[in-house]
């Protein structure tokens, strides 16, 4: 499988946080021919298993989240204009004039986020981003009833309608890179390992609601016999106008990010990842000559949730650096995603009985 093709296929599946059912079905379809067992949990997490050859070798889970930042219908007025709210962390400044797509039982419906005509916009208004509570969506309907006839009602989820675009040098800009890049990695790793006899059992976890409280990851490992886990996500990159290395450490085109842990705004470290798991990833990359970067993830990921499961699962995270986070133009180099997959494959192939997870 070509990694770019896997990713582009995933961009055709809408999965706003809390409404991941289309992606559940897609991941079930993709993982079923690659794994010995696949099932969907009551929470909605998709779990694939490739059984290892040696029960004494450590089992490992690699995990990515199915959901993307999105929006939800909050009100429809009698003229057919739609008020909406955010699901996840999209900023207001990314919204004005954008296309959105409603995900309905009758099929997708495209709309645009309207704005006040420039001819009557005051200079102060022109310099200000209005709050989402003041924004509205126009789907071309003339009444509330017509909107409802399209399959849209209060509670209908929406996503950005922008298509993926390939720019120069393999830079891809698309909505939903967070975390369709991680899902791409799950499928690619499973495909590369499907015919190999490796000692360790590998679990492929596609989970729900990372963007809305890390909820899926809290429960996904509870009934799985997993010794260690790796969360695969994206991470914000700097090295662009108005952003410097002091603010964001990672750079696109320099390989995947292997995190020391996670930090909040203001420089407070909130999670330190398990040293043995992190060094296992780094050691595999070093042995294969695969480029990577090291620092802290800005913000939380599912790694922090999985590490709290049961008595505590040794967990680390690896991420794809991308520009313009939580926008319709999240941008990354396909070479970085390819290298991320190579690190995971090399690390899993190298696991053997006796691998120690002890920190003492």
pLDDT digits (tens, 9 = 90+) for 85-108: 999 989 899 999 999 999 999 999
**What Rg, from alpha-carbon coordinates, does the chain have?**
21
Please indicate, yes or no, whether residues 222 and 209 belong to a single structural domain of this protein: yes
Which is it for the CA torsion 92, 212, 321, 65, positive or negative? negative
Q: Which domain holds residue 25?
A: 3-68+176-349
- Residue 84 CA to residue 92 CA, distance in Å, equals 12
pLDDT the model gives residue 243: 82
Q: In the structure, what pLDDT confidence band is assigned to residue 249 with cuts at 50, 70 and 90?
A: confident
CA angle 64, 43, 204 (to 5 degrees): 30
CA distances from 57 to 49, 182, 357 (A): 15, 25, 12
Residue 355, in any domain of the structure: no
CA distances from 19 to 66, 108, 111, 138 (A): 10, 14, 19, 22
Residue 98, in any domain of the structure: yes
Give the residue numbers marked as catalytic.
Answer: 210
What percent of the chain lies above the pLDDT cut of 70? 100
pLDDT over 90 (residue 350): yes
Largest CA distance in the chain: 72
Domain endpoint, select from 128, 160, 192: 160
Please indicate, yes or no, whether residues 195 and 243 belong to a single structural domain of this protein: yes
Please indicate, yes or no, whether residues 245 and 304 belong to a single structural domain of this protein: yes
Torsion of CA 317, 52, 311, 28, to 10 degrees: 60
Mean pLDDT of 2-23: 97
pLDDT the model gives residue 120: 85
Please indicate, yes or no, whether residues 228 and 339 belong to a single structural domain of this protein: yes
pLDDT the model gives residue 253: 96
Q: In the structure, what pLDDT confidence band is assigned to residue 125 with cuts at 50, 70 and 90?
A: confident
Please, are residues 348 and 193 in contact by the beta-carbon 8 Å criterion? Answer: yes
Please indicate, yes or no, whether residues 298 and 193 belong to a single structural domain of this protein: yes
Q: Is 99 exposed, middle or buried (0-12, 13-18, 19+ CB in 10 A)?
A: middle
pLDDT the model gives residue 269: 86
Domain endpoint, select from 160, 191, 210: 160
Residue 287, in any domain of the structure: yes
Please indicate, yes or no, whether residues 30 and 93 belong to a single structural domain of this protein: no
Residue 170, in any domain of the structure: no
Tokens of 357: 């997870």
Q: In the structure, what pLDDT confidence band is assigned to residue 271 with cuts at 50, 70 and 90?
A: confident
Residue 360, in any domain of the structure: no
Mean pLDDT of 316-326: 96
Please indicate, yes or no, whether residues 7 and 40 belong to a single structural domain of this protein: yes
Tally the domains of the chain.
2
Confidence (pTM): 0.95
Please indicate, yes or no, whether residues 117 and 237 belong to a single structural domain of this protein: no
pLDDT over 90 (residue 268): no
Q: In the structure, what pLDDT confidence band is assigned to residue 298 with cuts at 50, 70 and 90?
A: confident
Q: In the structure, what pLDDT confidence band is assigned to residue 155 with cuts at 50, 70 and 90?
A: very high
In CATH, what number is assigned to the domain containing residue 109?
A: 2.40.30.40
pLDDT over 80 (residue 12): yes
Please indicate, yes or no, whether residues 212 and 320 belong to a single structural domain of this protein: yes
Residue 166, in any domain of the structure: no
pLDDT over 80 (residue 228): yes
Please, are residues 283 and 294 in contact by the beta-carbon 8 Å criterion? Answer: no
pLDDT the model gives residue 116: 83
Please indicate, yes or no, whether residues 201 and 330 belong to a single structural domain of this protein: yes
Please indicate, yes or no, whether residues 156 and 181 belong to a single structural domain of this protein: no
Domain endpoint, select from 129, 160, 191: 160
25-42 per-position pLDDT tens digit: 999 999 999 999 999 999
pLDDT over 90 (residue 233): yes
In CATH, what number is assigned to the domain containing residue 260?
A: 3.40.630.10
Residue 335, in any domain of the structure: yes
Please indicate, yes or no, whether residues 319 and 182 belong to a single structural domain of this protein: yes
Query: Which residues touch 29 (CB under 8 Å, ≥6 apart)?
Result: none
Residue 171, in any domain of the structure: no
């Amino acid at each position: 499988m070509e990694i770019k093709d896997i990713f582009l296929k995933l961009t055709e599946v809408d999965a706003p946080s809390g409404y991941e059912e289309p992606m559940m079905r897609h991941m079930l379809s993709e993982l079923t021919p690659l794994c010995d067992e696949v099932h969907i949990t009551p929470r909605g997490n998709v779990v694939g298993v490739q059984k290892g050859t040696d029960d004494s070798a450590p089992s490992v889970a690699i995990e990515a989240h199915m959901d993307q930042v999105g929006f939800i219908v909050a009100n429809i007025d009698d003229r057919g204009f739609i008020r909406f709210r955010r699901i996840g962390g999209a900023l207001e400044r990314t919204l004005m004039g954008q296309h959105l797509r409603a995900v309905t039982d009758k099929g997708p419906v495209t709309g645009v986020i309207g704005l006040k005509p420039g001819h009557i916009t005051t200079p102060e208004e022109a310099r200000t981003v209005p709050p989402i509570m003041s924004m509205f969506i126009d789907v071309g309907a003339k009444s509330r009833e017509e909107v409802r006839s399209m399959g849209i009602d209060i509670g209908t989820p929406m996503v950005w309608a922008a298509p993926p675009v390939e720019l120069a040098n393999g830079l891809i800009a698309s909505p939903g890179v967070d975390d369709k890049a991680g899902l791409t990695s799950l499928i690619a790793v499973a495909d590369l390992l499907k015919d190999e006899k490796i000692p360790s059992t590998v679990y492929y976890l596609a989970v729900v609601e990372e963007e809305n409280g890390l909820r899926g990851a809290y429960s996904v490992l509870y009934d799985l016999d997993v010794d260690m886990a790796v969360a695969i996500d994206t991470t914000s990159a700097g090295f662009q106008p108005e952003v410097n290395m002091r603010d964001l450490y990672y750079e696109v085109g320099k390989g995947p990010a292997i995190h020391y842990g996670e930090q909040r705004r203001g420089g407070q470290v909130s999670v330190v990842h398990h040293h043995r798991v992190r060094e296992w990833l780094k050691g595999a990359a070093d042995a294969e000559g695969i480029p990577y970067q090291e620092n802290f993830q800005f913000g939380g990921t599912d790694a922090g949730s999985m590490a709290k499961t049961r008595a505590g699962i040794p967990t680390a995270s690896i991420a794809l650096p991308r520009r313009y986070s939580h926008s319709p133009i999240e941008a990354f180099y396909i070479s970085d995603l390819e290298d991320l997959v190579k690190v995971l494959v090399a690390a899993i192939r190298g696991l053997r009985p006796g691998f120690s997870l002890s920190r003492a």
